[in-house]
Amino acid sequence: MKVLVTGGLGYIGSHTCCELLDQGYEVVILDDLSNSSIDVLDKLRKLTHKEISFYQGNMIDEELLEHIFQEEKIDAVIDFAAYKAVGESVSKPILYYTNNVSTVLVLLKVMTKYEVKKLVFSSSATVYGDPKTVPIKESDPVGNTTNPYGTSKLFVEQILKDLYRSDSSWDIAILRYFNPIGAHPSGMIGENPKGIPANLMPYIVKVASGELPCLSVFGNDYDTKDGTGVRDYIHVVDLAKGHIQALSKLEKEGQGLYIYNLGTGVGYSVLDLVSTFEKVNHVHVPYQIVERRPGDIAECFADATKAKEELGFEAALGIEDMCRDAYHFVLKNQEK
Ligand code: UFG
C-alpha cells in the first residue's frame, strides 16, 4: 500500500513515516519545509533503509497535488500538514485558516478526482475546548475552542463529517492527539522547534541543556493535585503507531468515519514532568512559578478505551521513556 504523508518531515509526520516504512508501507512525502528540515528525509532513509519519494511544496498547490497523484499510485493519505502554534494562530488567523483548512479542501478535491478515499486526519484534543469532565470521551461535546488553531481543526473535522455524509464510500479516521512528546529512541528524529518553544517539553529540554535559564511554570493555583496544569502526555512513537493501526482499520473494514482519542488515559502535572525529567536524566531544571497562561485549562486527559477496543491501540511507553528520549534527541543533535 502506498501512502501519501503530507507534512511527513514534521515532528509527528516523521515518526509516522518511520513506522509506516518499518511495517512495509510505501511512503510518498509532501512537505513545504516551513516547520521542518530536509535533513529529516536523509535521517528517515538511514533509519529505515527504505526508499521514500519526496515532493517539496504546499498542499494548497493543486497542480502539484495532481502531479503527485498522477505520478504515484496513492492508496491512502495521512494528513499532518498544518501550522500548530496556538499563540501565533491568534495573531494570524487568516494564515491559519488558509493553511489548515483551505489546503484540506484542495487535498479532498484531488483525492476525489483520483478516487483515493482513505484518509487519516491529524486532529487534536484542543477540539474539546475546556472539557466539563475528564477523562474525555470521543462522544463528549466539541467546540468553544479558544484559538484559531483549535477552531481550524474543528472546522476540518466538520468538513470531513459532511463529506462522509455526502459519500459513504470514503474511509476516514480522525485522530485527536493529546500531548505528544519524546523522540525516536535512536535520537535521529525528534522535535526541534525554531526559536523559543511554546510547549512544555521542548522548553524543559532547552533549560536542561543550558540554552534557556529557567522554566516558567504557568500557574500553581489550578484545582489539580499540585496546582499546576495536568495533561495526557503520549510518546510520539506510540502516537505514530496509532496512525498505522487506524490506517489498517480503514484497509480492513472500510467505509466509515471513525474518531479516536490518542492518549494514554493518564494525566501528569507540570511539576510531575519536571521531576521525572530531572530524575531520569540526572539534570537540574530550575523553574519559577508565574501567572497562568491565558487560554490554558486545568486538566485534559483522554478516555483511551475506544482506541484500545477498536484499534488495539495502547501506549507502551511511559513518562520516563518520554523524558529520556526527548533529552537524548537534543543531546545527540547538539554534539554534531
Ligand atoms: N506550561 C508551562 N510552561 C511552559 C509551557 C507550558 O507551565 O513554558 C504548562 C501549560 O500551562 C500546561 C502544560 O504545561 O499546563 C502543557 O502545555 P503545552 O503548551 O505543552 O501544551 P497544551 O496542553 O497547552 O497544548 C498542547 C498543544 C496544542 C494542542 C493541545 C491539545 O500545544 O497544539 O495540547 O490539547 F492543541
Q: Is 126 touching ligand 1 by the criterion CB < 6 Å? A: yes
Give me the percent of the chain exceeding a pLDDT of 90: 96
Say what the pLDDT of residue 75 is.
98
pLDDT at 335 over 70: no
Say what the pLDDT of residue 126 is.
97
Say what the pLDDT of residue 193 is.
79
Say what the pLDDT of residue 259 is.
98
Give per-residue pLDDT as tens, 24-41: 999 999 999 999 999 999
pLDDT at 254 over 90: no
Q: Is 296 touching ligand 1 by the criterion CB < 6 Å? A: yes
95: number of Cβ within 10 Å = 13
Instruction: Give yes or no for a contact between 241 and 180, defined as CB atoms under 8 angstroms apart.
Output: no
**Of 293, 299, 323, which is best to mutate to test ligand 1, by the most ligand atoms within 8 angstroms of its C-beta?**
293
pTM of the model: 0.98
Instruction: Give yes or no for a contact between 108 and 163, defined as CB atoms under 8 angstroms apart.
Output: yes
- 149 among known catalytic residues: yes
Question: Of 11, 55, 149, 203, which is the active-site residue?
Answer: 149
Say what the pLDDT of residue 267 is.
98
pLDDT at 336 over 60: no
Of 122, 130, 117, whose CA–CA distance to 156 is shortest?
A: 122
Please state, in angstroms and as integers, the Cα–Cα distance from residue 293 to each residue in 4, 125, 136, 194, following that order.
Answer: 37, 18, 22, 21
List the grid coordinates of 334: 547538539
Residue nearest to atom 34 of ligand 1 (CA): 179
Q: Is 179 touching ligand 1 by the criterion CB < 6 Å? A: yes
Give per-residue pLDDT as tens, 167-211: 999 999 999 999 999 999 999 999 977 789 999 999 999 999 999
What lies within 8 Å, CB to CB, of 231 at 6+ separation is 178, 179, 200, 267, 268, 299, 300, 301
pLDDT at 218 over 90: yes
Instruction: Give yes or no for a contact between 183 and 190, defined as CB atoms under 8 angstroms apart.
Output: yes
Give per-residue pLDDT as tens, 229-241: 999 999 999 999 9
